[in-house]
Amino acid sequence: MDHYTDYPSFSEALIGFSQEARKLGFQVGLQASRDTVLTALHGLWLDRDLFEYALAALYCHTEEERIPFGQLYKRFWRKQGSRLTDKRDYKNQKKIHKAAQSVAVMLGTGKSELDGETEETKNTSGANAKETAKKTDFSLLTQQQSQLLDEISAKLIREMSLRIKRKNKKAKKGAIDLAGSIRNNLQNGGTIIHLKHVRPKREKYRLLVLLDVSGSMDKYSFYLLKFLWSLRHHFKHIEAFTFSTKLMRITDYLADKDMSLSLGMVSQNATHWSSGTKIGDCLQDFNDNYSKRYLNGNTMTIVLSDGLDTGEPEVLEAAIHQIKLRSKKLVWLNPLKGMTGYEPIQQGMQAALPALNHFGAAHNFASLMELENILTHA
């Protein structure tokens, strides 16, 4: 098999990779080849993992293709070196890299100024490392802690889902069935020792999540998106949307069992990522086009946003009240609330607060797990 160093230029290596993929049976058309070149020119090739995630989203159409693609990628791009060097002179490299930062943040491989493994992190092991990662602000996570959260988050959310189901089942016993109780206690001489309850008809429970992916949320959006992906796979009835200057439904993109493929699909379609913030306008768009379909008396609506709206507060106030009227409970989780001394003085939060049933933090994994108490009593 060819290696990228066998080609005279980086651009020709990209074309060669597409040809190698076709030989292995991947359905790679002209559009996928073109998108591969555009992906590289946007600076994603500067990071090996990010480049692989992006290409996997273009080349893999099923979960089964992910493993052979990973093997192909490693053989072609990684075997004889770690990072790629193009023979062309990128005079605008700084501009290209800056344009790619929002995508890097979205896929979770962007570096913040505070990133980097410290000796303290390296020396923390086992349970202590997990607890530290869970309590660390998303904006301060090292690469090692981020990977650790990936490993434990799905398990913890699955356990949370099971606990919620058990608590709800235990709490909703229903009215006492007197005739049934007598029949069940005939062996006790008619003395009723164990009461039988009529099991009530349980209505389907819905969860609706609206995630802010504007520029001010860059440090948190990716981790919150990962959290949504995990929720999507452990709660049956969940709908998810992203918003910034426009609204987009992402429920179907989160359905893939491979998280990297799901995030890749979102990255391909979320053109509004890291843009401005029009919370009120986006929520009104939801009310106009989606609320009748996805909201009812059994829906808990969760907004994940810092509340830094640049639109008119009256628009946000009206839109959030409409959502409140159609929801069983309205929750707003704000990453800034995890900061010491934070006060919700932003005009967006001031407009939304009166309609909320709960206002909480969303700055680390531990704060997100507090949702268990809210969901249990929904």
pLDDT of 188 strictly over 50: yes
The strands making up 247-249's β-sheet, listed across from edge to edge, are 247-249, 238-243, 206-212, 299-304, 329-334, 358-361
Pair of tokens at residue 75: 């053989």
Whole-angstrom Cα distance, residue 65 to residue 55? Answer: 12
Name which of 229, 294, 230 is nearest 265 in CA terms. Answer: 229
Whole-angstrom Cα distance, residue 213 to residue 216? Answer: 8
**pLDDT tens string 117-154:** 444 444 445 678 888 888 999 888 887 888 888 888 77
**What is the topology classification, in CATH, of domain 206-376?**
Rossmann fold (3.40.50)
**pLDDT tens string 40-81:** 555 555 566 667 776 777 777 777 788 888 888 888 876 454
Name which of 55, 43, 59, 210 is nearest 110 in CA terms. Answer: 43
Tell me if residue 125 falls in helix, strand or coil: coil
349 close to 307: Cβ distance less than 8 angstroms: yes
Single-letter code of the amino acid located at 287: N
3-state helix, strand, coil in the chain (%, to 5): 55, 10, 35
Tell me if residue 128 falls in helix, strand or coil: helix
251 close to 232: Cβ distance less than 8 angstroms: yes
pTM as predicted: 0.62
Pair of tokens at residue 182: 């007598």
Whole-angstrom Cα distance, residue 236 to residue 209? Answer: 13
